[in-house]
Amino acid sequence: MPQNKPNRLDEDQFDYQVTKDSKVLIYWHNKHIKTLSGKHAQKFLRQIDGLDGADEQLVLARVTGNFKRGNERNGKQKRR
C-alpha cells in the first residue's frame, strides 16, 4: 500500500456512498468525482471492507487517482 508521506490523508478528504443498485459514488471534499459500478464497485468494496481512517483514505485516493506520485516538479528548474 502507498505511504501517507505528509500525513495529508489523516483528514477525511474522501468519502463514498453505496447506492441501492450497488454503485459506489466517491466524493472529494463533498464533491462527487467518480462512480464505480459492476466489477469495479465490487472490487472496491472488498478492498475497503474493515478499513478506517488513513487506510481507507489511501484506498479512496488510489481508486480516484488523486494522490502524489513523487514525480511533480516545483516551478521551473534550470537545466545545465
Helix (H, G, I), strand (E, B) or coil at 79: coil
User: Looking at the domain assignment, is residue 1 inside a domain?
Assistant: no
53 within domain boundaries: yes
Domain-embedded: residue 18:
yes
Domain membership flag for residue 2: no
Segment 28-31 long-range contacts (CB within 8 Å, at least 24 positions apart): 28/64, 28/66
Please count the structural domains in the chain. 1
**DSSP character at residue 78:** -
Position 39 in a domain: yes
- Tell me if 69 is assigned to some domain: no
Q: Is the dihedral of CA 32, 34, 38, 39 positive or negative?
A: negative
Tens digits of per-residue pLDDT, 9-61? 557 789 999 999 999 999 988 999 999 999 999 999 999 999 988 899 989 98
Cβ neighbours of residue 53 under 8 Å, at least 6 residues apart? 10
Domain that holds residue 14: 8-64
List the alpha helices (DSSP H) in 1-80. Answer: 38-48, 53-64
Higher pLDDT pick, 79 / 33: 33
